[in-house]
Amino acid sequence: MKFFIDTASLAQIKEAQDLGILDGVTTNPSLMAKEGITGTDRVMKHYVDICNIVDGDVSAEVIATEYDAMVREGEDLAALHPNITVKLPMTRNGVKAIKYFADKGIKTNCTLVFSAGQALLAAKAGATYVSPFIGRLDDVSTDGVQLIEQIRTIYDNYGYNTQILAASVRHPMHIIQCAEIGADVATCPLSAIVALFDHPLTAIGLEKFLADHKKAAQQQVASK
Ligand code: E4P
């Protein structure tokens, strides 16, 4: 399973990249706003900065909602760097634009997906990635992980190449559950990724190994 980081923070992207397990980045207009990145020029430069940190797909979301404007904006984004994936919302115009980009060989990510039917449409249009938002479904008492399972079954039934990108991941158990089901990608906050490293028995075990090593070395010195 690929690990993407879901942030527009260059510091967090660098930190995740340094861990050696990062495969890509997803952003959205809210995440860009959180970093104070506004105005077309700054937004475009920020995407290039992200692409220069990570060697993997970087989702850049269009703001336009009309088909022609979505296509124009998506083409500008795709021209920034070969790793840019044009992120388009699950709307009629968004799906039509996905089909346009798919026909041109430009990578797309269909975002704001909350049902299996929507995921089916994204795959039929030729989306590179589909982004079911599992955390936001959990927030409204609907099992987000179950949606990943449903989409996996549907895509496998027909051999769709669209990659399931589990989004709105909130905690490490979401990542494990998505991996068990066979999601292709999980895009996660840094906190959920780093939480996977920790286990109390790992810390206790390492402490004991080092203490035993030190004791043996001291005994060797004392016996000389
Ligand atoms: C996906 O690409 C979105 O950016 C993201 O996962 C949304 O997550 P949230 O529900 O934590 O805002």
Exposure letters 192-213 (e unless 16+ CB within 10 A, then b):
bbeeeeeeeeeeeeeeeeeeee
Q: Evaluate: CB of 109 within 6 angstroms of ligand 1.
A: no
Q: Evaluate: CB of 133 within 6 angstroms of ligand 1.
A: yes
pLDDT per residue over 71-125, tens digit each?
999 999 999 999 999 999 999 999 999 999 999 999 999 999 999 999 999 999 9
Q: Which of 1, 6, 16, 3 is nearest to 194 (CA)?
A: 16
∠ CA 176-181-182, rounded to 5°: 95
Q: Dihedral of the CA atoms 156, 116, 189, 180 (nearest 10)?
A: -40
Contact status, residue 17 vs residue 7, Cβ threshold 8 Å: no
pLDDT for residue 224 is more than 90? no
Q: Evaluate: CB of 111 within 6 angstroms of ligand 1.
A: yes
The Å distance, Cα 26 to ligand 1 centre, comes to 8
pTM of the model: 0.95
The whole-number average pLDDT for the span 21-43 is 97
